[in-house]
A and B are shown apart, each in its own frame.
Chain A
């Protein structure tokens, strides 16, 4: 119960931050909406020029919206963590009874909230703008959303751990790391487009299995249980690795006194 109260306190800290700044909330939704508008026009063009896209008009729009789930989930962990560093608040937090794992859980919670604020308006706007509703995907959409959310969390924890270790000079990792995954996640194209040697690397990512699974659903091939299980197992592995890295760096930060001197 005490743990829940502390996790709630940390969620509240970030909800206060969002509530106090409308530009922050608008910015969360702005980029996914712009991406959706851009890819909506590209979809309209390709629907008349590509047989593959014509099979399922929502292929690219669903891809861009789900990619944003992964991207926003990762940023949703790292940016709130950066906020603690910017405000030199880690010292205060960790002389309180807050456990590192409670901080992690709260970061995952705020990541979920930020992702929903970012992606849901774009998904809803796609309905009147392009007559495409991602929600028609049904139950698989929830599975894909959760899987990509977890992948984003895992990556966000790894990036946060590295920034705690190396300082805010490494903060651009939040954008660098996720875009390194984009080409091999098969967001807009099947994995078999990649060179043979790169395909096993891609299939070691949960995101590649999610986007393959998404295409299977949209092209009428049904829900692919193999991709689902692979993504589930890989997500479990990477989330454990991300949390373990963060906890290890936290212990190292206590050894080196970094919690007292973290900041800009």
Chain B
């Protein structure tokens, strides 16, 4: 299993953000965490990454206990999110160099050149990050997330606020990366077509709990809906 979570709970004072969540994600799969705002998706991802300590529960990532030995596994995973950013005044190449070194990437210059080619960053590579558009920044964030060729890639709303063309390209790159490396993908998203295209499994969250689990098509059938978006509305509105 790439991820095994048991009884995962996060409380902020009297508020429970994540409530005794259990799930396992097999290696090589692509899974989406779906749910309305405040459902606990980002908090769950943050705990999986070691950015946040759980109130209780256990997390195993790539066979390692994340609560005790997270540094043993952080080198093998990576993360991208629109809620965090990269140093604004550094160029794209400088940012990727810093992160490549942090992850101990070998033959870093070659790796950066390859990513720049794959993600069409060639003409941006020596420009300061702050001068880039939202779509270009998302590509750079994805390059940073792929710099160490992670076995496990966690993405929080990877195409939020992007135009359809850029969003489609990002989804294409993610599909190609997964096909090439067999990496495990876990993403939180509000974009239902994106989830239907990228993921073979969906964990539906509401009020900190996993309320359903299935394939995108299976969930639509079970709820008697035409697509995942309608299922999402049912779950979000407690139908």
Contact = CB atoms under 8 A, between A and B. Distances in A.
Interface of A: 2, 5-6, 8-10, 12-13, 16-17, 20-21, 83-84, 86-99, 251, 254-257, 259-261, 263
B71 interface: yes
B50 interface: yes
Interface in B52-80: 52-53, 71, 74-75, 77-79
Contacts of A259: 51-52
Contacts of A84: 87
B101 A6 contact: yes
Contacts of A13: 87, 90, 94, 98
Interface string B137-150: 00000001000000
Interface of B: 12, 42-43, 46, 49-53, 71, 74-75, 77-79, 81, 83-91, 94, 97-99, 101-104, 128, 144
Contact of B81 (A2, A91, A254, A255): A91
A97 B83 contact: no
B104 to A, nearest CB: 6
A99 B71 CA distance: 8
A87 B52 contact: no
Query: What are the nearest 3 A-B pairs in CB distance?
Result: A91-B84, A9-B101, A88-B85
Contact of B50 (A16, A20, A95, A255): A95
Contact of A94 (B51, B87, B104): B51
Contact of B86 (A2, A89, A95): A89
A96 B90 contact: no
Contacts of B42: 260
Given A16-B98, A89-B85, A260-B42, A97 B50 contact: no
B83 A98 contact: no
A87 B75 contact: no
Contacts of A256: 12
A248 B78 CA distance: 25
B74 A95 contact: yes
B17 to A, nearest CB: 9
Select the residue from A86, A91, A94 with max chain B CB neighbours within 10 A.
A91
B51 A97 contact: no
A90 B84 contact: yes
30 contacts: A6-B101, A9-B97, A10-B98, A13-B87, A16-B98, A17-B89, A20-B91, A20-B94, A88-B84, A88-B85, A89-B85, A90-B84, A91-B79, A92-B85, A92-B144, A95-B77, A95-B78, A96-B74, A96-B102, A97-B74, A97-B75, A97-B103, A251-B53, A254-B50, A254-B51, A256-B12, A257-B12, A257-B51, A261-B83, A263-B85
